[in-house]
Structure 1
């Protein structure tokens, strides 16, 4: 017997919005005047993005280090514009989240630096409209998915028992990490299947 759900915790990228990494790379490459491979290496291959997601480096240092790797005086606005270019709201997924929010607590937990959560109104207004301030970046908790410690810190902050949280993510490892932390987990495949799951759990 599973505990009744009191909080539905959504992933952001490729759940509530479609995330196009190549669009982010292309936008930033155009800004800094470098090729796509150089941008990709600076953000991901260097390990910088992973360190930022895990809260091992603050936002200001993250932007400064990325700028140094790209040999360009990068600004927060440059980063935000590139991130926004990569995000397309999924209207159906957001509709489901809005319906759930009418009856239950909802929040977002995303592997990202704090810049994303702090600027969600600019980056993805439809998500901000539903979740308001309840959008959390992994960096703010000092861990990244799929570490169970991340989920535990997040739900403790939200003052909800882990067993009463349903976590939704498109990455199987992230769902597994949540389950290991004592949350209930569901792997997102598409909105039709998600709607069936939410209905089955009487969350709609």
Structure 2
């Protein structure tokens, strides 16, 4: 005990994400219209269910996608469409590297199991820092900002809430983490209230606080 746990969101934190690019790529791959895919899968709540762990394997996720939309989708097509919508965020990756040097760093992202299985291909730099693994909500059977996901991730790492920090762009997720007793940093990359330059300092400060609380010299 005494080592901080840093939990990083993925979309809009470690990587910029534009669904307006992902949906056309999926439409092109499947031959279905964007409207059809969005209305059947996303508006129908199936992606949210997948993020909550309804589909235990990539194969189950892809089979469900086909059943719901009528569109066969391979792992490779899913991967290419996801990559088309993503751009790494260097300042956040630097912060992830810093966090890993000061304690334990992990992904904590609302995503389906197929994302976990493709993580090393989707985000090779982040995967390298994290040792190749990326923890997603589907593995925990709960989504942010609910209290259950934070309870389960803390139990998984054997860490007290006071020794854990979430870095996330979504205000609701930040509030959920704080309600669960974690520290949290609301990451804002753009706009007049951008604070990406403050993230490294916040990580160092939190690591020092945890160390001090456990009697570990800085």
After TM superposition, the score normalised by the length of structure 1 is: 0.90
Quote how far apart the aligned CAs of 1:33 are.
Answer: 1.3
Note the 1:4-153 alignment, pairs <5 A. 6-59=4-57, 60-153=59-152
The worse-fitting range, judged by mean Cα deviation, of 106-115 and 50-59 is 50-59
Which residue of the partner structure matches residue 197 of structure 2? 192
CA contact 2:65–2:72 (8 Å) conserved in 1: no
The worse-fitting range, judged by mean Cα deviation, of 146-155 and 126-135 is 126-135
Distance in 2 between the 1:114 and 1:25 partners?
19
Distance in 2 between the 1:87 and 1:131 partners?
19
Which residue of the partner structure matches residue 193 of structure 2? none
CA contact 2:170–2:186 (8 Å) conserved in 1: yes
Which residue of the partner structure matches residue 174 of structure 1? 173
The worse-fitting range, judged by mean Cα deviation, of 60-69 and 116-125 is 60-69
The worse-fitting range, judged by mean Cα deviation, of 71-80 and 153-162 is 71-80
Secondary structure of 1:126's counterpart equals: helix
Secondary structure of 2:68's counterpart equals: helix
Distance in 1 between the 2:166 and 2:178 partners?
9
Question: CA offsets per residue over residues 126-154 of structure 1, 9 Å max, x none?
Answer: 11111124420101111111111001101
Moved over 4 A (4+): none
Secondary structure of 1:167's counterpart equals: strand
Distance in 2 between the 1:5 and 1:181 partners?
19
The worse-fitting range, judged by mean Cα deviation, of 14-23 and 94-103 is 94-103
Structure 1 or 2, whichever has the larger Rg, is 2
Question: CA offsets per residue over residues 42-83 of structure 1, 9 Å max, x none?
Answer: 331010001000012333332112123332222222212211
Distance in 1 between the 2:93 and 2:167 partners?
13
CA contact 1:168–1:188 (8 Å) conserved in 2: yes
Give the root-mean-square deviation of aligned CA atoms: 1.7
Which residue of the partner structure matches residue 183 of structure 1? 182
- Unmatched tracts of structure 1, length 5 or more: none
Distance in 1 between the 2:147 and 2:184 partners?
12
